[in-house]
Amino acid sequence: MKFRLPLFTKPLAAALLGAAVLTSSGCATIFGRSNYDVTISSNPVGSNLSITDKKGKEIYRGVTPATLKLKSSAGYFSKAEYQLKFNKDGFEEQVIPLTCKLNGWYFGNLLIGGIVGMLIIDPASGAMYTLPERNINQTLQPKQAQTATLQILDYNNLSAFQQAQLQKIK
């Protein structure tokens, strides 16, 4: 004698299996990621580039252009933050921040990921955060030429405060 499941239980079993999979996963983990390819370029090309994380640890040193993977999370419930420092001889040094944002898919846990996805899976995987800027192009400003000037002032035209600041040269 063969045992047969009634026909209506197969779709029900599939639905229950699907629900179990979805509720044991995080939405941001399913639809997002935790590492992002970031392309960094500069004008002028060949600028020195240094990237530090939120703890001040240097995680990259090289020249532009560069493509590298950056994590969107710095740990459990902690978004990643980076400082990108550009410098080149003859140009002003520039430091720009790069901060991860909360991934919109994280709120999908309210519908299908459940409390497990919201409090454990997405924060642990790092996918609850996203890196909004993935193509960075920084233009460095030329250094202003500093010229020395000589200014001759009449002692009698100085304020009392300015006169008090003067020092006699021996």
pLDDT tens-digit readout, 132-160: 888 999 999 998 877 778 888 888 888 88
The domain ranges of the chain are 14-143
pTM of this structure: 0.66
Eight-class DSSP state of 145: P
The DSSP-derived string for 76-89 is: TTEE-EEEEEEE-T
Asked if 23 and 112 count as a contact pair (C-beta separation under 8 A), the reply is yes
Are 101 and 6 contacting, i.e. CB atoms less than 8 angstroms apart?
no
Report how far apart, in Å, the C-alpha atoms of 165 and of each of 13, 100, 160, 162 are.
Answer: 89, 50, 9, 5
Give the closest residue to 126 by CA, choosing from 105, 147, 97: 105
Task: CATH number for 14-143: choose from 3.10.450, 2.40.160, 2.60.40, 3.40.1710.
Answer: 2.60.40
**Average pLDDT over the chain, rounded to an integer:** 82
